[in-house]
Structure 1
Amino acid sequence: MNMKQATTIDEVILFLDEIIEAAKLEQSPIGLFPTLYRIVTLKIKSGIVNGSFQNCERMEKLDVIFANRYLKAYYEYRAKGKPSECWKFAFQKTETYWPIVLQHLLLGINAHINLDLGIASAQVSTPQDITDLKSDFEQINTILSDLVGSVEKGLIKIWPTLTYILKLSGKIDNFFIDFSMKTARDGAWKYANEFVLLPENQREASIQERDIKISEIAKLVSNPGYLVSGVFKFIRLFERGSVAQKIIDLSKIE
């Protein structure tokens, strides 16, 4: 399988489209995360075009490096290679029945933000100028935060009565917001500032060590405790539509 790597943000979007379309044909949940990721990428592209970032050239470079880590993991997994453990775990779960759409999204977010974002941020920076990136990094945070309500609306299309579950169990709602919209991003920035200081010959060992930690978080996302897991299983039994339809519904969020 061709290991595609993007050189521009438009190529990132093109390659995500290819992965999404293949997943729809295969009825594979592996297409759920890139559907959300595509929406984020389009918003970042719009910000670059409109000059919303402090350094738009650097932001596109960051976006491409960041996306290429996901693309590399995806193609390695499809070729039966060895992606990072947290990505391997996320991809393997797309081949099982029980994870709900929310869990598939969180597993992708966990790997991509907790592992990949810090590395990519460090790779477009130096120890001397990484603080200059913080403003644009926070702008990405704003884009992600704005998606929270839209994602919930998309999930409600897939399972209409989810709105009542969200009202009855704040735990599920907070589980999504606290994990993906705050904890992961804060950890990514902290790791970026640690990683940028490392000499080249120590970076791979650092990535492997962090990968192990992020894989443990993935296990918690997959099995978040008796109560929440029980509710998730109930949701899974009544999720509406084929996998392809779920991907289509998710793609319509704004």
Structure 2
Amino acid sequence: MAQMEHFAVRPGFGPAAVGSVVERMSAYGSAWPAGDGLAVFNRVYLTVTEEIGRRIDRGGFPDPRAAATLSVLFAERYLTAVEAAGDGVRPPACWRPLFQYRRHPGVRPLQFALAGINAHVGHDLALAVVDTCRALGCEPAEVEDEFDRVGDILELLEERVREDLMPGPDLLQIADPLTHLAGSWSLERARDGAWTAARLLWRLRDLPELAEEFTQRLDAGVGLVGRCLLTPWR
């Protein structure tokens, strides 16, 4: 199935819909061992989604319906990859490295978290913006504020991930390659790339073959970065 056709056009979601994806993520997280690489990312993303839900409830977004729609459709991209893998179906290329290496003893928790964020932001976020615009019948520019505020939450959480999962000072020399690898990937650049990709895909919506080719190349490129982020250290 073409990746641009995964989600049908539908009405926008209300703020309460964010709670439903939180419940699904929580259910998966409770079923996986804590050291599972996908569980590491799931904990990070669950925290992001819970924070988005709280900010929507507190009026922290200019358009709560647009924020909820973007957040839910963004989360569905990840949840669909999880469900596909559970059913024996190959997930998108951007997610495959994390699924393949999720139990590798030589991969650190920080790598799992960054690889998941890379897949979700580098690939899924662009497609979720397009899904949102189709659902709401609007242009990307009309959801840019919501995109930026969701991205701000992601960046705050990325800082916490690096603080919590980076080896301590006593391990810094031993883990120097990991320190270099973690520093070579930027969420800010991934966000910028996702926004550019979303705008381009929106312009290509009447050229489905070209849009699909671009989506596949985006997927493959993000997957390659994910594979590098998951380089085992032993």
TM over 0.5: yes
Match of 1:95 in 2: 103
Off by >4 Å, runs of 4+ in structure 1 = 164-175
Task: Say whether the 8 Å CA contact 2:61–2:67 is kept in structure 1.
Answer: yes
Match of 2:33 in 1: 24
Structure 1 residue 72: Cα displacement: 0.7
Q: Could you tell me how far apart the structure 2 residues matched to 1:54 and 1:32 are?
A: 31
Structure 1 residue 95: Cα displacement: 2.9
Structure 1 residue 9: Cα displacement: 0.8
Greater helix content: 1
Q: Could you tell me how far apart the structure 1 residues matched to 2:41 and 2:106 are?
A: 16
Q: Could you tell me how far apart the structure 1 residues matched to 2:188 and 2:71 are?
A: 19
In structure 1, the gaps of 5 or more residues are 1-6, 224-228, 234-254
Task: Say whether the 8 Å CA contact 1:123–1:196 is kept in structure 2.
Answer: no
1:55 correspondence with 2:59: no
Identity percentage of aligned residues: 25
Q: Could you tell me how far apart the structure 2 residues matched to 1:38 and 1:164 are?
A: 30
CA change 1:199–1:142 in 2 (3 A) is: closer
Q: Could you tell me how far apart the structure 1 residues matched to 2:199 and 2:77 are?
A: 18
**Equivalent AA in structure 2 for residue 96 of structure 1:** H
Match of 2:149 in 1: 139
**Equivalent AA in structure 1 for residue 61 of structure 2:** F
Structure 1 residue 150: Cα displacement: 2.1
Match of 2:7 in 1: none
Aligned with 2:62: secondary structure? coil
Match of 2:217 in 1: 209
Tell me the TM-score normalised to structure 1 length: 0.75
Aligned with 2:133: secondary structure? coil
Task: Say whether the 8 Å CA contact 1:122–1:196 is kept in structure 2.
Answer: yes
1:13 correspondence with 2:28: no
**CA-based RMSD:** 2.6
Aligned with 1:24: secondary structure? coil
Structure 1 residue 38: Cα displacement: 0.4
Q: How does 1:108-123 map to 2 (within 5 A)?
A: 108-123=116-131
Task: Say whether the 8 Å CA contact 1:29–1:94 is kept in structure 2.
Answer: yes
Match of 2:9 in 1: none
Tell me the TM-score normalised to structure 2 length: 0.81
Match of 1:105 in 2: 113
**Equivalent AA in structure 1 for residue 122 of structure 2:** N
In structure 2, the gaps of 5 or more residues are 1-12
Structure 1 residue 172: Cα displacement: 5.0
Aligned with 2:52: secondary structure? helix
Q: Could you tell me how far apart the structure 2 residues matched to 1:148 and 1:37 are?
A: 10
Aligned residues between the structures = 215
Q: Deviations over 1:85-115 (max 9, x none)?
A: 1212211110322111011111111111100
Match of 2:87 in 1: 79
Task: Say whether the 8 Å CA contact 2:61–2:146 is kept in structure 1.
Answer: yes
Task: Say whether the 8 Å CA contact 1:148–1:177 is kept in structure 2.
Answer: no
Match of 2:200 in 1: 194
Match of 1:46 in 2: 54
Q: Could you tell me how far apart the structure 2 residues matched to 1:66 and 1:174 are?
A: 29
Task: Say whether the 8 Å CA contact 2:81–2:92 is kept in structure 1.
Answer: yes
